[in-house]
């Protein structure tokens, strides 16, 4: 029963905190703030493990984990609270303090963010005391009968209890049966309060949503549209299980440290340029939309955490402003070798300046496949630099570009020992057949994608078992920054087979067989799968 009291107190605390977070902003919710802090504090290997194991569900797993830890802690607070009211109150207070600390230490934390945890903890304390009262009046009655005296600690607790009873307007009714009824009555009320405040808070937090404004935005017409696609550009219509040439926005992989994606209202958006510029400016979203140098380009984005054969890669038609002209018109000084990009949630991504100046299609992107950027992909503006992994190029919710040097400052991932410069390694992947799948013997297409952004893919070869390498058919070359699909029809004899793929870049580089893990600068090695033909 005491444990249940603890649990209900925690539920009320979290519910009320959600309600207050509905007024302050979703990221101030203690569950989110604590989860965010956990992400920041998690050692790199564990983080990579989580991304690998839970993939897109890593955030749901983290929130579920946070809730389980809170529940266990609440059970303990309830049990301890029955013995000593003071320790119980302290327990809830500590819980609130952790929430406050987590909310305030977020890079974008504001003093007001402490409010949900504070008010939530107060509500939790009141609930705990209210629920423990009927329990311990029964317990004390029994104890008084047996010992005929109270301990000193109980005295103080007794006073607190009496005051609380006055507040709650209930007399000191003895008798276990009556108290049990009171406990469940209070518990029921607590549950109702928790559900109502939690649900209401969630609804209120929707106010911070920008879905409506985003849907109403009209993208400009690009001065320089994407190159037209040759006929038959996408082989996936022909081949079951092959990745489409363009990834739908809803299917595009997502990797970031934000538990709730930041919500930026277009009207509030500002992009600030600072550091080594002669005449740094600040841009509004309209400033960017109304420029006459808007480009649209097809670019494949990949994540450094992608394993050999992994799915953390996607292609979109991006629209935005060329970075080179933007940097030049602000008078970028020659000494800068790093552009430190800052997201509204405090994330920093350090991009090599040289790459931005040399890679033609590096851009500040605001459009993705004909729509404004989806919120989870950086609405309203993100950076994109073809040829670099996302962690050193693709800052989402971008609000500041500081021209600086690698010697002066480390960005978020570099602080965590990932390589400072992250050129994308040439890679190829088998999409079909699926690994360890049984396929009918006979003819079956082997197909997949290969990428080597900024250089392009010249050749893909496939090897089945110990046979010779055979060249696969490639989808038409569109742009070096776009991946190419490849396909090879193959007659499978019954039995177990291994299939291996390797790509060659347009610059002549043959994909290496040497295996490397994603940490610290991207995976390498040939993708190889086993299938059973029967």
Ligand X SMILES: Nc1nc2c(c(=O)[nH]1)N[C@H]1C(S)=C(S)[C@@H](COP(=O)(O)O)O[C@H]1N2
Q: Please, what is the minimum distance in Å from the beta carbon of residue 456 to Mo ion?
A: 22
Per CB under 5 A, 50 contacts Mo ion? no
Per CB under 6 A, 396 contacts ligand X? yes
Hey, which residues between 329 and 348 contact ligand X (CB under 6 A)? 343, 347
Q: Are 405 and 338 in contact (CB under 8 A)?
A: yes
Candidates 395, 447, 460, 478; binder of ligand X (CB under 6 A) is: 395
CA 101-102-104 angle, 5° bins? 65
Q: Which does 165 bind (CB under 5 to 8 A by kind): ligand X, Mo ion, none?
A: none
Hey, which residues between 347 and 376 contact ligand X (CB under 6 A)? 347, 349
Whose structure tokens read 């110990």?
466
- Residue showing the smallest CB distance to ligand X in the complex: 390
In the bound state with Mo ion, the residue whose beta carbon lies nearer, of 113 and 345, is: 345
Q: Residues of 346-376 as b/e, b for ≥16 C-beta within 10 angstroms? A: bbbbbbbbebbeebebbbbbbbbbebbbbbb
> Residues for the chain: how many in total?
534
In the bound state with ligand X, the residue whose beta carbon lies nearer, of 127 and 300, is: 300
Distances (CA, A) of 432 to 233, 423, 500: 19, 27, 12
Candidates 131, 245, 255, 447; binder of Mo ion (CB under 5 A) is: 255
Structure-token pair, residue 321: 């402003």
Candidates 183, 277, 283, 391; binder of ligand X (CB under 6 A) is: 391
Q: Which does 326 bind (CB under 5 to 8 A by kind): ligand X, Mo ion, none?
A: none
Distances (CA, A) of 50 to 69, 98, 311: 17, 23, 15
Distances (CA, A) of 84 to 87, 123, 151: 5, 19, 11
In the bound state with ligand X, the residue whose beta carbon lies nearer, of 373 and 499, is: 373
Is it true that the peptide bond before 520 is cis, omega within 30 degrees of 0? yes
Residue by residue, DSSP assigns 5-26 as: HHHHHHHHHHHHHHHHHHHH-G
Q: Cα(348)–Cα(492) distance, rounded to whole angstroms?
A: 49
Q: Which does 284 bind (CB under 5 to 8 A by kind): ligand X, Mo ion, none?
A: none
Per CB under 5 A, 391 contacts Mo ion? yes
Per CB under 6 A, 380 contacts ligand X? no
Q: Please, what is the minimum distance in Å from the beta carbon of residue 478 to ligand X?
A: 20
Q: Please, what is the minimum distance in Å from the beta carbon of residue 29 to ligand X?
A: 19
Per CB under 6 A, 47 contacts ligand X? no
Q: Please, what is the minimum distance in Å from the beta carbon of residue 304 to ligand X?
A: 6
Q: Are 479 and 457 in contact (CB under 8 A)?
A: no
Per CB under 6 A, 283 contacts ligand X? no
Candidates 73, 283, 379, 397; binder of ligand X (CB under 6 A) is: 397
Per CB under 5 A, 303 contacts Mo ion? yes
Give the count of beta carbons closer than 10 Å to the beta carbon of residue 147.
9
Stretch that binds ligand X, among 18-26, 252-260, 328-336, 359-367 (CB under 6 A): 252-260
Q: Which does 42 bind (CB under 5 to 8 A by kind): ligand X, Mo ion, none?
A: none
Residue by residue, DSSP assigns 265-278 as: -GGG-EEEEEESBS
Per CB under 6 A, 274 contacts ligand X? no
Q: Indicate the angle between helix axes 115-147 and 152-168, nearest 10 degrees.
A: 120
Q: Please, what is the minimum distance in Å from the beta carbon of residue 208 to ligand X?
A: 17
Per CB under 6 A, 257 contacts ligand X? yes
Candidates 303, 464, 482, 501; binder of ligand X (CB under 6 A) is: 303
Q: Cα(322)–Cα(213) distance, rounded to whole angstroms?
A: 25
Stretch that binds ligand X, among 44-52, 282-290, 391-399, 416-424 (CB under 6 A): 391-399
Going by C-alpha positions, the residue among 106, 461, 481, 156 that lies closest to residue 257 is 106
Q: Are 425 and 523 in contact (CB under 8 A)?
A: yes
Q: Please, what is the minimum distance in Å from the beta carbon of residue 398 to ligand X?
A: 7
Structure-token pair, residue 526: 């040939």
The DSSP code for 399 is E
Binding-site size, ligand X (CB under 6 A): 18
Q: Please tell me whether residue 445 adopts helix, strand or coil conformation.
A: strand
Q: Which does 115 bind (CB under 5 to 8 A by kind): ligand X, Mo ion, none?
A: none
Q: Please, what is the minimum distance in Å from the beta carbon of residue 58 to ligand X?
A: 12
Q: Cα(356)–Cα(358) distance, rounded to whole angstroms?
A: 6
Per CB under 6 A, 394 contacts ligand X? yes
In the bound state with Mo ion, the residue whose beta carbon lies nearer, of 109 and 522, is: 522
Q: Please, what is the minimum distance in Å from the beta carbon of residue 300 to ligand X?
A: 11
Q: Please, what is the minimum distance in Å from the beta carbon of residue 36 to Mo ion?
A: 18
Stretch that binds ligand X, among 221-229, 250-258, 286-294, 437-445 (CB under 6 A): 250-258
Q: Please, what is the minimum distance in Å from the beta carbon of residue 362 to ligand X?
A: 14
Structure-token pair, residue 133: 């009262």
Q: What is the dihedral of CA 470, 473, 478, 479, to 10 degrees?
A: -10
Going by C-alpha positions, the residue among 7, 4, 10 that lies closest to residue 123 is 10
Candidates 124, 266, 390, 433; binder of Mo ion (CB under 5 A) is: 390
Query: Which residues form the interface with ligand X (CB under 6 A)?
Result: 252-257, 301, 303, 343, 347, 349, 377, 390-391, 394-397
Query: Which residues form the interface with Mo ion (CB under 5 A)?
Result: 255, 303-304, 390-391
């Amino acid at each position: 029963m005491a444990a249940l009291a603890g649990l209900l107190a925690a539920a009320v605390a979290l519910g009320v905190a959600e309600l207050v977070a509905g007024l302050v902003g979703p990221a101030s919710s203690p569950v989110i703030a604590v989860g965010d802090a956990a992400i920041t504090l998690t050692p790199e290997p564990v983080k990579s493990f989580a991304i690998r194991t839970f993939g897109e569900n890593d955030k749901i797993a983290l929130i579920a984990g946070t809730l389980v830890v809170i529940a266990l802690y609440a059970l303990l607070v309830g049990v301890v609270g029955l013995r000593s009211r003071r320790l119980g109150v302290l327990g809830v207070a500590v819980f609130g303090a952790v929430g406050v600390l987590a909310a305030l230490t977020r890079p974008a934390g504001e003093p007001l963010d402490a409010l949900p945890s504070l008010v939530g903890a107060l509500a939790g304390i009141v609930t705990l005391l209210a629920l423990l009262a009927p329990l311990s009046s029964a317990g004390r009655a029994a104890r008084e009968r047996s010992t005929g005296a109270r301990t000193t600690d109980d005295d103080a607790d007794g006073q607190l209890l009496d005051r609380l009873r006055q507040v709650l307007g209930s007399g000191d009714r003895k008798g276990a049966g009556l108290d049990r009824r009171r406990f469940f009555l209070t518990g029921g009320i607590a549950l109702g309060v928790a559900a109502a405040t939690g649900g209401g808070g969630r609804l209120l937090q929707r106010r911070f949503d920008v879905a409506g404004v985003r849907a109403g935005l009209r993208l400009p017409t690009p001065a320089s549209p994407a190159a037209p696609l040759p006929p038959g550009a996408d082989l996936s219509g022909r081949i079951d299980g092959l990745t489409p040439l363009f990834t739908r926005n809803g299917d595009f992989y997502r990797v970031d440290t934000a538990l709730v994606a930041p919500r930026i209202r277009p009207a509030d958006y500002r992009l600030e340029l600072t550091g080594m510029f002669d005449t740094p400016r600040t841009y509004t979203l309209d400033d960017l939309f109304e420029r006459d140098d808007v480009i649209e380009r097809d670019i494949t984005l990949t994540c450094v955490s992608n394993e050999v054969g992994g799915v953390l890669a996607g292609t979109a038609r991006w629209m935005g402003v060329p970075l080179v002209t933007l940097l030049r018109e602000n008078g970028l000084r020659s000494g800068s070798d790093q552009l430190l990009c800052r997201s509204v949630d405090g994330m920093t991504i350090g991009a090599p300046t040289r790459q931005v100046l040399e890679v033609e299609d590096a851009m500040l992107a605001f459009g993705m496949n004909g729509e404004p950027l989806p919120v989870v992909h950086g609405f309203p503006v993100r950076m994109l630099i073809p040829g670099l992994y996302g962690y050193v190029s693709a800052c989402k919710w971008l609000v500041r570009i500081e021209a600086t040097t690698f010697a002066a400052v480390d960005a978020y991932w570099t602080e965590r020992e990932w390589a400072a410069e992250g050129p994308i390694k040439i890679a190829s992947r088998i999409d079909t057949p699926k690994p360890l799948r049984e396929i009918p013997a006979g003819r079956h297409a082997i197909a997949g994608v290969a990428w080597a952004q900024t250089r392009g893919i010249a050749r893909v070869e496939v090897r089945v078992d110990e046979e010779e390498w055979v060249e696969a058919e490639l989808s038409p070359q569109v742009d070096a920054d776009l991946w190419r699909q490849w396909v090879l029809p193959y007659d499978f004899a019954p039995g177990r087979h291994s299939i291996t793929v390797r790509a060659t870049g347009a610059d002549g580089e043959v994909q290496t067989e040497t295996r490397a893990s994603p940490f610290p600068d991207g995976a390498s090695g040939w993708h190889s799968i086993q299938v059973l033909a029967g």
